[in-house]
Structure 1
Amino acid sequence: MREPEPDSRRRRRANGTLETRVLAALHEADGPVTAGWVQERLAAGLAYTTVVTVLARLLAKNAVTRRREGRSFVWMPAADPAGLAALRMRKVLDGEQDRRAVLASFVTGLPEGDEQLLRELLDRAGGEEQ
């Protein structure tokens, strides 16, 4: 059996690329959408099952939510892009043994402007709790 020509081999996408594209499509939507809508929006020749698998993975990561409508689900992003970035940061932090050391290293590595912004946000958050 002959090997396929290099041009006809399917190229693998980088990890997370498809998830990023699916999330971007959900953010462009006017509201909750079906997996079929996402599939059409991506227009990349993806199988419906591939889109559903990606959505299920994003659901497991708490990046999207879904609700049943009729016999299928409609999907929506769990948060805006900033909220999703914060979720990823928390997951990284949760995976570390020494949270204090990780946070200390993070803060000391921030540029001065970001460090000041973080201080202001922490002060504001502390004032809201009282």
Structure 2
Amino acid sequence: MSEPAPTGLVLGPLEVEIMNVLWSARGPVSVRDVLDALNSTRTTPLAYTTVMTVLSRLADKGAAARTKAGRGYAYTAAVADEAALAVREVIRGFGAAAVAHFVDEARNAPDLMARLERLMQEGDRK
């Protein structure tokens, strides 16, 4: 059985909540759409400007993509999940050394190493 994925490694708690809205959206969403989704389950509502600021920071981090929509922006998730963002940040920060350490760690986990080898072979075919 696999372990649950950790959350909050790269993103703060509110950022994770907002990304969950983006990940579950069927298309681009406005700040108001995200605000309404978040506030539908909260006892203390968030302010529009709070959600707008966090979405802007998520775009700056590369976790969300934004496109001009009228006078504001529409947002979509730019990464598949938090793990993708974490890996990208580690590789940006440490480059080839991070990849080498990852492979060393994978060697100690046969299932992970087998998956890595499969992914590498699939990549060669593309």
Residue 46 (structure 1) shift: 0.9
**Structure-2 change in CA distance of 1:35 and 1:119 (3 Å):** same
* Moved >4 Å (runs of 4+): none
2:27 aligned to 21, 25, 31, which one?
A: 31
Highest CA radius of gyration, 1 or 2?
A: 1
- Deviation of the 1:54 alpha carbon: 0.6
Distance 1:108 1:67 in 2: 40
Q: Structure 1 residues 79, 105: closer, same or farther in 2, change over 3 A?
A: closer
Partner of 2:51: 51
- Does 1:62 pair with 2:58? no
Q: What displacement does 1:49 show?
A: 0.8
Distance in 1 of aligned mates of 2:59 and 2:33:
17
Q: More displaced, 85-94 or 57-66?
A: 85-94
The answer for unaligned runs of 5 or more in structure 1 is 1-14
Letter aligned with residue 30 of structure 1: R
Q: Structure 1 vs Structure 2: percent identity of aligned residues?
A: 35
Alignment of 1:40-119 (within 5 A): 40-43=36-39, 44=42, 45-81=45-81, 84-96=82-94, 99-110=95-106, 111-119=109-117
Larger RCO, structure (CA 8 Å, separation 6 or more): 2
How far 1:112 sits from its partner (Å)? 0.4
